Structure 1
């Protein structure tokens, strides 16, 4: 258990997987550029994005009697990243829209023990999935802007495994995890300042299995031409989940940088 206490702060660096995903083209997770469909009036967007966020909050796993406070910047998390991915997709028709925002990361770390009696090495693997799925309706729309009322659900899946190698406990492993769903409501929108610059953002809040679940973002975009545009913004996401001794009360926030390619 002493090993778990020492390693738990490192484990929790990966509990919000979105902090460290890689993408060839990075875009804001707010309201991505639409690509016109050939027919039917539909517009579509599918975009990976990059979010250089840090993580802070309180967590508890594996039946530990106390919570652990975690505070890590993006570089700390990136050092332990094994795999990560983020993507958002949206389809719009007239005033209606459906969308999804997927976040996944797998972090791992290993460390030698001080005496090597019970175990010579401890390996820690943490996987987190957060998927937001919803629909929206434009309550305000004109040639330069729109404002959507949106509703949906966010699915969380957080899992951590500790494996021991060598010593008396060689080959033993223990895992802990939870899956939960929160209903979300909010608004998102876009405003074209001129032919090149535009503002975009969203704000969502909800609850369900978690006491509270929220997500806000804002960005400014620059359209180079019909094919390329760039985005720079900021996103913050928080969740407070506490059930059966599993505590996941964290806030993740950081800048968003993006390059959108239309095709």
Structure 2
């Protein structure tokens, strides 16, 4: 089931980047980039339940111990000032959590399956020989499945499932500067939401250009999302260093 879901989302992400690119311009040369990266992030999940708020905090080392699977990747297409980008995150992990009403419950656990797919159309608003500034708009889709188990003490054990899918509209900006022929820096920001949800992220990296095809980058990324539930509000955040390699053609 997961393989089918991931294949469908990855395929949609690639198709979106390529087909949107064709829609922006019919002539001229398109360039493409495919990025694989690792995000060594700390994870925080907070969710309201009928018994109170449950908080789970995982450091990266804890997350590795509790990680069932993860996938991360991005694609980009550019033609002149126009560009399209898509980024996919998938996490499946479990964590120990704080226990509401401690006299009633001895322990709490959260099992989560989280898919985040972001897509943007961008326009190069400013460019010089060594810097570029892009603005854009897009969407970020979330597929969230949380199972919160409250292990009973005085009260019986309870499991609360929260399954939520939604899309946030986004505005985005990216600034890139070449320090010299080989090294460069990038800053990317986006934010958006609806009345029932909101999300934002920030990414800062320093990169090394090995040749015309290969680039390597390292930096720091933060992503946060909050959404309404039947019991109140839930939120998650991911933060930590990131390393990636991009192949351009």
Q: TM-score range by the shorter chain?
A: 0.7 to 0.9
What is the count of residue pairs matched by the alignment?
Answer: 204
User: CA-to-partner distance for each residue in 1:88-129, whole Å, 9 max, x for gaps?
Assistant: 11111111111111111223589xxxxxxxxxxxx9753111
Matched, 1:79 2:79: no
- Contact 1:147-1:187 within 8 A present in 2 as well: yes
| Distance in structure 2 (CA, Å) of the matches to 1:204 and 1:86 | 18
SS at match of 2:64: helix
| Distance in structure 2 (CA, Å) of the matches to 1:218 and 1:40 | 30
Specify the alignment match of 1:54 in structure 2: 42
| Distance in structure 2 (CA, Å) of the matches to 1:132 and 1:84 | 16
| Distance in structure 1 (CA, Å) of the matches to 2:227 and 2:87 | 20
Specify the alignment match of 2:11 in structure 1: none
User: CA-to-partner distance for each residue in 1:142-180, whole Å, 9 max, x for gaps?
Assistant: 3322111111111111113579xxxxxxxxx87431111
| Distance in structure 1 (CA, Å) of the matches to 2:111 and 2:217 | 33
Write out aligned runs for 1:222-233 (5 A).
Answer: 222-233=208-219
| Distance in structure 1 (CA, Å) of the matches to 2:132 and 2:246 | 20
| Distance in structure 1 (CA, Å) of the matches to 2:124 and 2:164 | 35
Choose from 120, 129, 141 the match for 1:155.
141
Deviation at 1:83, TM superposition (A): 1.6
- Contact 1:181-1:209 within 8 A present in 2 as well: no
Higher strand share: 2
| Distance in structure 2 (CA, Å) of the matches to 1:134 and 1:259 | 20
- Contact 1:210-1:239 within 8 A present in 2 as well: no
Deviation at 1:68, TM superposition (A): 1.4
| Distance in structure 1 (CA, Å) of the matches to 2:180 and 2:40 | 28
SS at match of 2:52: coil
* Further displaced range: 206-215 or 40-49: 206-215
User: What is the TM-score with the length of structure 1 in the denominator?
Assistant: 0.69
User: What is the TM-score with the length of structure 2 in the denominator?
Assistant: 0.73
| Distance in structure 1 (CA, Å) of the matches to 2:83 and 2:214 | 23
Matched, 1:253 2:235: no
- Contact 1:55-1:71 within 8 A present in 2 as well: yes
Matched, 1:195 2:195: no
- Contact 2:34-2:248 within 8 A present in 1 as well: no
The gaps in structure 1 that reach 5 residues or longer are: 1-38, 111-122, 164-172
Choose from 24, 29, 36 the match for 1:41.
29
SS at match of 1:77: helix
- Contact 2:33-2:246 within 8 A present in 1 as well: no
Q: CA RMSD in A?
A: 2.7
Deviation at 1:213, TM superposition (A): 1.0
Deviation at 1:261, TM superposition (A): 4.1
